[in-house]
Amino acid sequence: MTVKTVGVIGLGNIGNGVASSLARAEKWTVQVWDQDQSKREALDGTPFIQIDRFDKMARQADVIFFVVPSTREILSCLEGEDGIFAHAKSGLVIYDLTTSYPEDSKEVAEKARTFGIQYLDAGTSGGPYRADTGHLLTMVGGEEKAFQATRDVLEPICEHIFYVGPSGAGHTLKLLHNIVCHATTLATAEAGHMAEKVGIS
C-alpha cells in the first residue's frame, strides 16, 4: 500500500507530537484536526501539515490516527452524516492510539469493516516527550495484513512497534502494561516509605 496522506485527529500532548513527528519525516501530507481551535492553530503553517476537518480527511487520507481520550470521542468522528464512515475512501486504515476497553475496540472494528475500513487498536505508551521525539511504543491488534501494509507510517512516531494479535489485543496488552507499571510504582513507593520508617536513607 502506497500511503500519500496521513491524518491525525486529536492534537493534545501526545497527538501534537505524533503529527509533528510525521511531518518531520517529509514523506506524506499530514492532515490534522482537533475540536480546539487553538490546538489547530499551533500547527498551522508547519511544513507538510494542513488543517482539515475529519470528513475531508476521510475522503483523502490513506491512514488516520486517533489520539483522543476514549472510544466515545472516536465514535463522534466516525458516525453521522459528516462522519468518517460516511465519507471514507476505499481501503482506509485507522489506528486507535487511545487506552480503551478492548471489547469497545472490537465493536468499532466490526462496524468499520462494514464500510471497507480496517480499524487497528494500537495501545501506545511513552508520554508527551517520547511523542515529540518519535520514540513511542505501540502494541497493535487487528488485521495483520493492514498493519504490515502501513507499518512504515508508524516508524516516525514509534521506537518500538509490536503486532500482538487480533482485534482487541493491542488495547488488552496496553491495560496489562498499565497494571504492571502502576503496581511497580506503588511497590516502589511503599518500599521507600518502609525504608524511611526504619531510618534507611
Q: What is the pLDDT of residues 113-146, one digit of tens each?
A: 999 999 999 999 999 999 999 999 999 999 999 9
Per-residue pLDDT of the chain (201 residues; tens, 9 = 90+): 889 999 999 999 999 999 999 999 999 999 999 999 999 999 999 999 999 999 999 999 999 999 999 999 999 999 999 999 999 998 999 999 998 889 999 999 999 999 999 999 999 999 999 999 999 999 999 999 999 999 999 999 999 999 999 999 999 988 766 666 657 677 667 767 676 778 786
- The gap between the terminal CA atoms of the chain, to the nearest Å, is 57
CA distance 120 to 150: 11
pTM: 0.90
Query: Cα–Cα distances in Å, from 156 out to 19, 27, 71, 121?
Result: 10, 10, 24, 18
